[in-house]
Structure 1
């Protein structure tokens, strides 16, 4: 890390000033005269529901988008952040919510990738020493600089991503959903590192949908709603409930089931003794149609492995899986899909969406065989189907022609979920971290989609690390740790019990 810098004098010029920023897309305003300041040594949160404008503000601050109006000042001087390189030269570093580390490269090579100060012939010994210092500062003492990123867990990859940004001696660090894929312990490492960076005099802009961590970590919170800044307040005076009301303009409500679970067990998903070597041991569940089953566990608990095994992505899995009284060939993803199982990965960028394709193209991607004949897709049927799915997923019809990359994280997730809806050949919907990187408003919309899917007679099973989501959405909650079920809660669960099971574990009931 860079040498400590002097603390700013009280009343000095803010390090970052955002002044009446505005930006629109195709004539539709996304950000409307947003203003806030961030001082040296301050950790400043940006919060807001899906589509509130957070991502657009972050892209303008990091040089990815130019504002239509307003300006950005560093140390009181207006700056033109024309691209990421220009921002980096001025000391602005971004950790995006989508991972940019390259799995095929080593940790050291990823650290140097995109670093304008690295140089082609930079001395390897100095680079190794610098990399080792940064990794140790992030609590990654067991990760080697020469280790391929592909060998790291998803959480470790996220920490390397953050370490990469923090290693660039930035004066302004923007963290966009940095803990969305991290366990509690890994999040603590990130918090400690961010606090150390701020203590050195950096300005930190922190974007997260995990409101409790916002209030724990940040000094100040700016709330955006419908592209406008509606409040900027000290975090110490806020509560999670109050922050949610400010973000949404109203209090949220738990979604209750509108129909009883299907009593016909022939429609159930039956899982017996599911085993994945080194990951999952003896998972058993009978999941009824019309109910939502939540798998609660931190990274490495086995919750994600249950879903991936059922979707055919663990070919070494053993056990038995039956759906509608028929055996499911669960070691084969094509066989699992044909049996009626749809899977939504926790990595929509790497395993889900075609980012350069249109919203419409992504929505219909899994049903092209039904939209034409002889290898030709009927354009009219494709448009009608895409429009229908957009309605089911809560997506605006006027965005169907846009590339999915242009959507917010919440709307991208709606596309990912939406293409599994409205299909009579899908009986089970599996979702791994269904609202990862999605704010409170987007989360509510996605929860509505899942509740509607269950009410339509599907078996819905999701894995999550977030207590609020587990309690809000799960009809039945199974806690997991070290590859095994700890407890099963069919009603009556509370946050304290779930956290105890997920972090400490006990014998399965």
Structure 2
């Protein structure tokens, strides 16, 4: 193992292959990323991008091929090997300890000590220096678990960048960040490029790829497709066609529908995250979009709608009946179902199989003698949902943690489709999902609406919420600030409603 390599040079992948049980994740991947360049890795979920970054980070050992930095071949057998060789990988799954402080997470493994004890003053000072440029508003002494998902993402980025690595890889770094935080990150990535670093960048957000990247390599089904050395000579349609093998003209799949009667009515809701009473109506057969900036109160509203938080005031009326939601169990029984924003933390059982994750909520409806669930029903329901939602998995027994983000999201939808549903709540349903899988998710949303289900979608992707919604409600600072019909929706109008109000 060649340690402490941080002397520049290109990063080469030479014939990298990786096989998991039942899945060939990578096959003969070869390309070069150059110093002083931001190199995008693009492809649909399951194309192999994250697997390649885990090999680069030492989490996985390739079954064939090798890595090369400059003229030196690398043989990473652990994450420590990768770090010692001047590599920093910022994975989409955060590797942080929620119970520890921000400072402790940033300097874990090399905390400053004095007389055998952690020097807290020095620890917090060093952490503040690391956070200054990227997230100066975060208190190093704060317990990490108290931070938002976006703030935790910034801490993970700051932690990786503190190592002064020559090769830095970002896997969906902006998936939970606000527009202001994204601007900061883009500035820092530009500086890394100017310093001669090799930067790999994975994102499904096309605008970011064309904003910050110099070159792009496309993967499909674990195989290398093509490298475009000059992204400024490429347009978005060419890149999408290369990724998915077909031209996607309208990824939102929107078709006009006739709105039906009232499904859910919220009257004067107040609770955690809401600073003014919120009232609205969602109709059967309607896709109702909620847009707002980070901290607007959208996620908090959904938590009230599904019983995760208790109302302080107001009431919910479903099909004309007043609800008294004391827990998510009550909401599920009423037919109000949530797909949460952080699907890895709150949506899936990572060690469980695909079938278990699909069946887990509907089992009690099919239990015999109070506890036994027929194996035939388990198998048939899982296979039915996998087929209906086009879940890409080698078998229903595959652990869900090995599926791509898009397929995990489909499994969560399959769980709720196994139950009787009246209102579906979707919080950032396509976060971290590629453009092909997004199109499939949108089609599922429209199919559900066509069946008379009220679908409420929270999204920070402005084009997404405009593209799929029949009607859009805008939130800012814990309050509803406007309602916009699909025909009148445009970016400027929605952003104006979403910006914090000037207080006189």
For residues 432 and 110 of structure 2, the distance between their equivalents in structure 1, rounded to whole angstroms, comes to 28
Q: Deviations over 1:50-94 (max 9, x none)?
A: 222212222222122222322211122211122222211212222
- CA distance, structure 1, for counterparts of residue 94 and residue 275 of structure 2: 26
Cα deviation for residue 341 of structure 1 reads 0.5
Whole-Å Cα distance in 2 between the matches of residues 213 and 44 of structure 1?
12
Q: How far, CA to CA, are the matches of 2:107 and 2:465 in structure 1? A: 39
> Does residue 216 in structure 1 map to residue 211 in structure 2?
yes
Query: Aligned in 2, Cα 1:366/1:220: closer, same or farther, shift over 3 Å?
Result: same
| Matches of 1:23 and 1:7, distance apart in 2 | 28
C-alpha separation in 2, matches of 1:240 and 1:499: 24
Counterpart among 240, 245, 249 of residue 245 in structure 2: 249
Aligned equivalent of 1:52: 47
Alignment of 1:432 with 2:409, yes or no, is no
Structure 2 counterpart of 1:370: 365
**2:455 matched to 1:457?**
no
Distance 1:121 1:46 in 2: 43
Cα distance in 1 between the residues matched to 2:234 and 2:126: 39
Of 200, 220, 240, which residue of structure 1 is paired with 2:236? 240
Q: Distance in 2 between matches of 1:323 and 1:245?
A: 43
Report how far residue 405 of structure 1 moved: 0.8
Cα offsets for 1:329-369 (capped at 9, x unmatched): 23532222211100111111211111011110001011111
Q: Is the 8 A contact 2:104 2:111 kept in 1?
A: no
CA-based RMSD of the aligned residues comes to 2.5
What does residue 227 of structure 1 align with? 222
Secondary structure of the corresponding residue to residue 255 of structure 2: coil
**1:35-184 pair list within 5 angstroms:** 35-113=30-108, 115=109, 124=120, 126-138=122-134, 140-184=135-179
Q: Give yes or no for the alignment of 1:402 onto 2:398.
A: yes
Q: 1:368 to 1:174 in 2, by over 3 A?
A: same
Matched, 1:199 2:197: no
d(CA) in 2 for partners of 1:463 and 1:197? 34
Moved more, 149-158 or 495-504: 495-504
Distance 1:443 1:479 in 2: 22
Q: How big is each residue's C-alpha offset from its partner over 1:231-264, in whole Å with a ceiling of 9 and x where there is no partner?
A: 32222223333322222222222313375222x3
Per-residue displacement from partner, 1:183-238 (whole Å, max 9, x unpaired)? 10111122222223333332111111111011111121112222223232222223
Alignment partner, residue 3 of structure 1: none
The alignment partner of 1:354 has SS state of: coil
**What SS does the corresponding residue of 2:277 show, helix, strand or coil?**
strand
Query: How far apart, in 1, do the equivalents of 2:492 and 2:340 lie?
Result: 27
SS class of match (1:472):
helix
State yes or no: 1:392 paired with 2:391. Answer: no
Listed as ranges, the matches of 1:257-272 within 5 Å are 257=255, 259-262=257-260, 264-265=261-262, 268-272=263-267
Q: 2:337 aligns with which of 335, 342, 354?
A: 342
CA distance in 2, matches of 1:366, 1:122: 46
3-state SS of paired residue (2:457): strand
Q: Once the two structures are superposed, what CA deviation does each residue of 1:19-73 show, in whole Å capped at 9, x if it has no partner?
A: 2222233354332322222222321111111222212222222122222322211
Structure 1 residue 482: Cα displacement: 1.4
Please say which of residues 198-207 and 211-220 is displaced more in the overlay: 198-207
Scaled by the length of structure 2, the TM-score of the pair is 0.91
Matched, 1:414 2:415: no
Q: Is residue 312 from structure 1 mapped to residue 307 from structure 2 by the alignment?
A: yes
Cα distance in 1, alignment partners of residues 68 and 474 from structure 2: 48
C-alpha separation in 1, matches of 2:166 and 2:393: 41
- Shift in Å at residue 122 of structure 1? 6.8
- Greater mean alpha carbon deviation, residues 180-189 or residues 496-505: 496-505
- Asked whether the 8 Å contact 2:25–2:48 carries over to 1, the reply is yes
Determine the structure 2 residue equivalent to 1:382. 378
Give ranges in structure 2 of 5+ residues lacking alignment: 1-5
Paired with 2:386 and 2:112, the residues of 1 have a C-alpha distance of 45
SS at 1:377 equivalent? coil
1:24 aligns to what SS in structure 2? strand
Identify which of 316, 321, 324 aligns with 1:321. Answer: 316
C-alpha distance in structure 2 between counterparts of 1:460 and 1:52, whole Å: 30
Give the drift of 1:506: 9.0
Q: Decide whether the 8 Å contact of 2:38 with 2:200 is kept in 1.
A: yes
Tell me, in whole angstroms, the C-alpha distance in 1 between the residues paired with 2:273 and 2:111.
41
Name the CA shift for 1:192/1:409 in 2 (closer, same or farther; >3 Å): same
**Separation in structure 2 between the aligned mates of residue 309 and residue 63 of structure 1, nearest angstrom:** 42
Question: Does the CA contact (< 8 Å) of 1:340 and 1:426 recur in 2?
Answer: yes
- Give the Å deviation of 1:429: 0.5
Point out the more displaced range, 334-343 or 189-198. 189-198
Shift of 1:124: 4.9
2-side partners of 1:286 and 1:143: how far apart? 37
Q: Is the 8 A contact 1:7 1:41 kept in 2?
A: no
Moved over 4 A (4+): 115-126, 504-507
